[in-house]
Amino acid sequence: MRRLASSFVSGGCNLDPRGKFLWWVLPLALVVAGTLAAAGCSATGQQAGDSGANVLKIGAALSASGSLAHEGDVMKKGYELWKDTVNEKGGLNVGGKKYKVDMVYYDDKSDATTAGKLVEKLITEDKVDFIFGPFGSGISAAASAISEKYKKIFIATIANADTVYSRGFKYLFGILPPTTSGFGLNIDYLATLTPKPTKLAIIYPDDLFPASAAEAAKKKGEQMGFQFVFFQKYPKGTTDLSSIMTQVKAANPDALLNSGYMEDEVMMVKAAKELKFNVKYISSLGMPVFAFMKALGKDSDYLFDAQWWMPQSGWKGPFFGSSQDYNALYKKKYNEDATYYSAAASAGGLVLQTAIGKADSLDVEKVRAELAKTDMETFFGQIKYDETGFNRTGKGVIIQMKDGKINIVYPQNLATTKAVYPIPDWDKR
Amino acid sequence: MLQQLVNALLLGGIYALVGVGFSLIYGVMNIINLAHGALIMLAAYTTFWVFQLYGVDPFASIVISMALFFVIGFILQKYIVNRVVGQNVLMTMVLTYGFELIAVNFALYFWHADYRAVNPTYAGTGLEIGDVVVPYIKLGILTVAIVLTSLLYLFMTRTKIGNAIQATSLNKDAAQLVGIDIQYIYSFTYGLSAALAAAAGTLIAIVYTVTPSMEGGFLGKAFVIAILGGLGNSLGAIVGGVVLALAETFGVVVFGAAYQQIVGYVIFLLVLIVRPCGLVGRRFFSEL
């Protein structure tokens, strides 16, 4: 690398029109080369501490740049927490031998094609034993198609569009319950509220996961007798929602739902406030709530959101203990509260670790057979696979934000406070 | 409908600012500045931090970020971009794209991928005229956009250095013959463009979320706006910005939300086919 950079400078390619010696390019090239070399090392992950130990290698192509970089970063924290916890407890017991876990990460740039290529690289070059999934159904669908080809087990921790699992894949297992159990929970909740909302609006960015959530919620809502006065998708990555929100305002719904990502929700709330659009109920799906509240400040008050997991969820299981215990562990390491992103990632590790333990082998077919039989209570809730590898048993919660705090408002048995409904008008706050 | 027209005009203001600096560099240096989006992103972060740490109002910090980015742009051109002026187009793209990658990864490394937002107390408030709401912030942005582009126009036509910039863009050799230091003009122009990108970034920080990956969308928009208005034409950027905003807004009204961006790009393609110099552009004689 260094030779390459310096030969480029001293060689025939002189970029300086005045022909002066580029004295400063050489140190710069060295710095750049050094940084690249360092980055190259870190990309392959740290080797396990003592050289004699057995290593279980797991690969993950996560988004570290691009539109899903934040989500990828939080998931990585979940994988790392699981890895560290396993290694601190001495590693995994397989066939009488101790295995330390080693993770290999790559940046998929929030792009499905890149993720597919990186999974291939993980399997063929890094020779990883198992693959952990990235954030989102679209990317996971593309990436798992590659691992399936190589018969490697792919734990898609955050991918829950039906289309991901309906392809008849044998080596693909999910963690997150179906979109209907999260976004659709809004519909169940709306039916219990008084005054009962009747007219609903759903907008969503045109992407696999938001679309699958929105369509499932619409179907469920129509069955339960709600009327949809506005139901439209908009291009993913749009930078302005005011024109769409003006149309929504004109449709005059009682409740507004958006199944998009954080940028979408922030734009939607800002546009609603600007347009003085008052609606009785606004809900998003699976926000990274703490970052979300920080970004919106006071304006995040009274917003609802569907989450698949909260520290207060009250589930218990092996290894990590209860959901509160998991959160305490996470908080100790990262100094912030855990969200479902990292919890699902850690739960993926937990499920794999349990299956490996039962199989007492790293053989893909044996582990696959045990994974398929998974039926366990965990800190993340119930995990049980149907024949497609989809975990359909879990259920989410509806939360409401207020003063930087998160309150569970539905289902009733987990509710921590009574919701403020209808949410106050913008000028009455 | 009236509300949508207001939305479009206000959005057009932001778009105009995004496009004008991009257009300027192409007009003068013939460089497709792929670093433009990154400059917008870095300026948005500057605004965010100045607001977060010192409580400086974002509209006031326009002055700070414009001055800062003028200097950054000037230096960037003088020591780096200048080496590819006059080289083939691929080389200029590789260099500016390289800068963009460095800037984005710099932002990712230091500030992570978190979504951030600037929320001044007056955020979301607005003027109500009948059923139509005009948010103060966006009205302010439109005003700033019009003032800045008008100032730029006056600067280019009424000042010595502005005339020198125009002369350089028309014919670089002739400009040199009459004693214009074209190296200086190039650096000055790049600084000016960076300052305009900074103004855009600052204003965008108030209305949208700030993330390292925001640069891509705005670079694409800058391209479309500059082509619509005519590359190198500063007043054309206002036309381009407003046309794109109208297209996106009425695309939603007429065809539905899914067509928001398609309509803008279709107009973009039509303009390229029918009027390749842009809607208000005219052919520079240096290109003949």
Nearest Cα of chain A lies from the Cα of B166 at a distance, in angstroms, of 22
What are the chain A neighbours of B208 within 8 Å (beta carbons)?
239-240, 263, 266-267
Nearest chain B residue to A73, by CA: B113
What are the chain A neighbours of B126 within 8 Å (beta carbons)?
274, 276
**The pair of three-digit structure tokens given for residue B142, joined into one six-digit string:** 């439109």
| Whether A416 contacts A404, CB under 8 Å | no
The mean pLDDT value for B213-233 works out to: 86
Contact A291 B257 (CB under 8 A): no
pLDDT at A19 (0 to 100): 41
Note whether residue A44 is domain-resident. Answer: no
Note whether residue A26 is domain-resident. Answer: no
State the complex-level ipTM: 0.83
Residues A365 and A248 in one domain: no
Note whether residue A372 is domain-resident. Answer: yes
- Phi first, then psi: give them for residue A400, nearest 5 degrees: -130, 140
The predicted-structure confidence for A331-350, as pLDDT tens digits, reads as follows: 999 998 899 999 999 999 99
Note whether residue A8 is domain-resident. Answer: no
The predicted-structure confidence for A133-144, as pLDDT tens digits, reads as follows: 999 888 999 999
Answer whether B86 touches A (CB < 8 Å): yes
| Whether A182 contacts A396, CB under 8 Å | yes
Residues A231 and A108 in one domain: no
Residues A68 and A165 in one domain: yes
Nearest Cα of chain B lies from the Cα of A135 at a distance, in angstroms, of 14
Domain that holds residue A230: 181-307+397-428
Helix pair A185-192, A208-223: axis angle to 10 deg: 30
Kindly report the number of other CB atoms within 10 A of residue B58's CB atom: 24
Answer whether B96 touches A (CB < 8 Å): no
CATH code, B2-287? 1.10.3470
Residues A263 and A301 in one domain: yes
Contact A15 B253 (CB under 8 A): no
pLDDT at A46 (0 to 100): 42
**The pair of three-digit structure tokens given for residue B7, joined into one six-digit string:** 């939305």
| Whether A211 contacts A204, CB under 8 Å | yes
CA A249, CA A421: separation in Å to the nearest integer? 19
As to burial, measured by CB atoms within 10 angstroms (0-12 exposed, 13-18 middle, 19+ buried), residue A399 is buried
What are the chain A neighbours of B201 within 8 Å (beta carbons)?
none
pLDDT at A52 (0 to 100): 55
What CATH code is carried by the domain that includes residue A348? 3.40.50.2300
The mean pLDDT value for B36-49 works out to: 95
Taking one residue from A and the other from B, the number of pairs with CB-CB distance under 8 angstroms is 125
3 state DSSP class of A26: helix
Whether the bond into A17 is cis, omega within 30 of 0: no
CA B84, CA B95: separation in Å to the nearest integer? 8
Note whether residue A30 is domain-resident. Answer: no
As to burial, measured by CB atoms within 10 angstroms (0-12 exposed, 13-18 middle, 19+ buried), residue A124 is exposed
Residues A230 and A294 in one domain: yes
Answer whether A234 touches B (CB < 8 Å): yes
CA A124, CA A134: separation in Å to the nearest integer? 19
Answer whether B119 touches A (CB < 8 Å): yes
Strand partners, A359: none
Q: Using the Cα atoms of residue B40, residue B43, residue B44 and residue B45 in order, give the sign of their dihedral.
A: positive
- List CB contacts of B113: < 8 A, sequence separation 6 or more: A64, A65, A69, A70, A72, A73, B211, B212, B213
pLDDT at A47 (0 to 100): 43
Nearest chain B residue to A242, by CA: B7
**The pair of three-digit structure tokens given for residue B117, joined into one six-digit string:** 């937002």
pLDDT at A130 (0 to 100): 96
Kindly report the number of other CB atoms within 10 A of residue B45's CB atom: 22
Query: Which residue of A15, A66, A295 is in closest CB contact with B117?
Result: A295
Position A15 pLDDT exceeds 70: no
3 state DSSP class of A384: strand
Spell out the domain ranges in chain B.
2-287
Helix pair B215-229, B36-54: axis angle to 10 deg: 120
Note whether residue A377 is domain-resident. Answer: yes
- Report how far apart, in Å, the C-alpha atoms of B163 and of each of A217, B74, B122, B154 are: 61, 18, 40, 10
Radius of gyration, alpha carbons of chain B: 19
The mean pLDDT value for B26-40 works out to: 90
CA A413, CA B58: separation in Å to the nearest integer? 45
The residue type at B258:
A
Provide the mean pLDDT of chain B. Answer: 88
Residues A168 and A191 in one domain: no
Position A1 pLDDT exceeds 50: no
What are the chain B neighbours of A299 within 8 Å (beta carbons)?
119, 123-124
Residues A257 and A161 in one domain: no
The predicted-structure confidence for B46-100, as pLDDT tens digits, reads as follows: 999 999 899 899 999 999 999 999 999 999 999 999 888 878 888 989 999 999 9
Answer whether A110 touches B (CB < 8 Å): yes
Q: Which of A40-44, A124-128, B182-186 has the lowest mean pLDDT?
A: A40-44
| Whether B217 contacts A66, CB under 8 Å | no
Please state whether A91 falls in left (phi above 0), alpha (psi between -120 and 50) or beta. left
Position A30 pLDDT exceeds 50: yes
The predicted-structure confidence for A84-106, as pLDDT tens digits, reads as follows: 999 999 999 998 899 999 999 99
| Whether A275 contacts A393, CB under 8 Å | no
Nearest Cα of chain B lies from the Cα of A246 at a distance, in angstroms, of 7
Residues A334 and A372 in one domain: yes
- Phi first, then psi: give them for residue A160, nearest 5 degrees: -135, 25
What are the chain B neighbours of A240 within 8 Å (beta carbons)?
11, 208, 248
Nearest chain B residue to A261, by CA: B115
Specify the residue for token string 């399936």: A148
Specify the residue for token string 């199944």: A259
The mean pLDDT value for B33-56 works out to: 93
pLDDT at A88 (0 to 100): 94
Residue of A274, A284, A299, A301 for testing the chain B interface, max B β-carbons within 10 Å? A274
Radius of gyration, alpha carbons of chain A: 24
Nearest chain B residue to A232, by CA: B257
The predicted-structure confidence for B99-114, as pLDDT tens digits, reads as follows: 999 999 899 888 887 7
The predicted-structure confidence for A102-114, as pLDDT tens digits, reads as follows: 999 999 988 999 9
DSSP state of A135: B
Nearest Cα of chain A lies from the Cα of B235 at a distance, in angstroms, of 23
Query: Which residue of B87, B209, B248 is in closest CB contact with A243?
Result: B248
**The pair of three-digit structure tokens given for residue B130, joined into one six-digit string:** 């009948």
What are the chain A neighbours of B116 within 8 Å (beta carbons)?
294-295
Residues A227 and A282 in one domain: yes
**E strand residue ranges, A97-150:** 97-107, 130-132
Specify the number of domains making up chain A. 2
| Whether A389 contacts A169, CB under 8 Å | yes
Specify the residue for token string 């829950």: A160
For chain A, positions 175-204, list CB contacts with chain B under 8 A.
Answer: 203
Q: Which of A163-177, B125-139, B189-203 has the lowest mean pLDDT?
A: B125-139
Nearest chain B residue to A20, by CA: B83
Answer whether A16 touches B (CB < 8 Å): yes
Residues A67 and A167 in one domain: yes
Nearest Cα of chain B lies from the Cα of A234 at a distance, in angstroms, of 4
Contact B221 A239 (CB under 8 A): yes
Contact A246 B256 (CB under 8 A): no
What angle is formed at CA B35 by the lines to CA B31 and CA B36, rounded to 5 degrees? 90
What are the chain A neighbours of B257 within 8 Å (beta carbons)?
203, 232-234, 244, 247
Contact B248 A110 (CB under 8 A): no
Position B251 pLDDT exceeds 70: yes
Nearest Cα of chain B lies from the Cα of A296 at a distance, in angstroms, of 7
Residue A232: in which H helix or E strand, if any? Answer: strand A227-234
What are the chain B neighbours of A296 within 8 Å (beta carbons)?
117, 119
CA B173, CA B180: separation in Å to the nearest integer? 10
Contact B211 A69 (CB under 8 A): yes
- List CB contacts of A111: < 8 A, sequence separation 6 or more: A66, A139
Residues A156 and A210 in one domain: no
Residue A257: in which H helix or E strand, if any? Answer: strand A255-258
Provide the mean pLDDT of chain A. Answer: 86
- Give percent above pLDDT 90 in chain A: 62
CA B237, CA B227: separation in Å to the nearest integer? 9
The mean pLDDT value for A232-252 works out to: 91
Contact B248 A244 (CB under 8 A): no
Position B212 pLDDT exceeds 50: yes
**Alpha carbons within 13 A on the beta-carbon side of B168:** 28
pLDDT at A35 (0 to 100): 53
| Whether A421 contacts A280, CB under 8 Å | yes
**The pair of three-digit structure tokens given for residue B189, joined into one six-digit string:** 């122009």
- pLDDT higher at B140 or A313: B140
Residues A261 and A280 in one domain: yes
**The pair of three-digit structure tokens given for residue A132, joined into one six-digit string:** 């952990």
Answer whether A235 touches B (CB < 8 Å): yes
CA A102, CA A83: separation in Å to the nearest integer? 7
Contact B257 A234 (CB under 8 A): yes
Answer whether A70 touches B (CB < 8 Å): yes
- Report how far apart, in Å, the C-alpha atoms of B228 and of each of A424, B78, B219, B235 are: 43, 29, 14, 11
What are the chain B neighbours of A268 within 8 Å (beta carbons)?
none
**Alpha carbons within 13 A on the beta-carbon side of A408:** 18
Nearest chain A residue to B219, by CA: A239
Query: Which residue of B117, B252, B257 is in closest CB contact with A296?
Result: B117
Answer whether B112 touches A (CB < 8 Å): yes
**The pair of three-digit structure tokens given for residue A149, joined into one six-digit string:** 């080809």
Note whether residue A130 is domain-resident. Answer: yes
